[in-house]
Homo-oligomer: A and B are copies of this chain.
Amino acid sequence: MRKSKQEASETRQRIVETAAAEFRRGGIEGTGLSDLMAAAGLTHGGFYRHFASKDDLVAEACAAALEAITERIAATATGKVGQRGLSAVVTRYLSTDHRDHPADGCALAALGSELARSSDRTRAAATEGYLKLVAIVTAQLDSDPPDVARARALAAVSTMIGALTMSRIATDPDLSAAILESAAKELTARR
């Protein structure tokens, strides 16, 4: 039962998007191809009509996941600059909603330590996503000279990723909230 080219390309797209969500939910190593394909409404045998290996899909799914989140974060900042733009970005990223829904959140926080052990291609996709977030934050820091803004943005995005990760690890709900709040406060504090 061969499918049309268009159907096949839609299927491929569906697998990538399902994977992007499932990897963020259960981890890369923790998500099997059988479960993944089932979640995309397929049987596992067809996987290799679309991808050469699991690693292939991992790299593509990470890229897709990061494209989605950076677009949403960028949208948060549109029409705002400076303190208001920064505040919008930081508040959105460090929200309890983001913390509680890793499957459609930032892949750098959901998969960070796994990514550090991943293939070059996957790490390159992750690096690109990180730089996109850095660019968004840099654009808000318009009262600093460009190189200072960039350096501050590198640190700010690292803070966001670390705080979100830690807020998911923390067993105490109050602590979890405090981590998000103090990171947000620190990042939006005027100098």
Contact = CB atoms under 8 A, between A and B. Distances in A.
B183 A155 contact: yes
Contacts of A127: 169-172, 175
A94 to B, nearest CB: 10
Interface residues of A, number: 51
Contact of A171 (B113, B120, B151, B160): B120
Interface string A166-187: 1011111001001101110111
A161 interface: yes
Nearest to A166: B158
A117 interface: yes
Contact of A165 (B161, B172, B182): B161
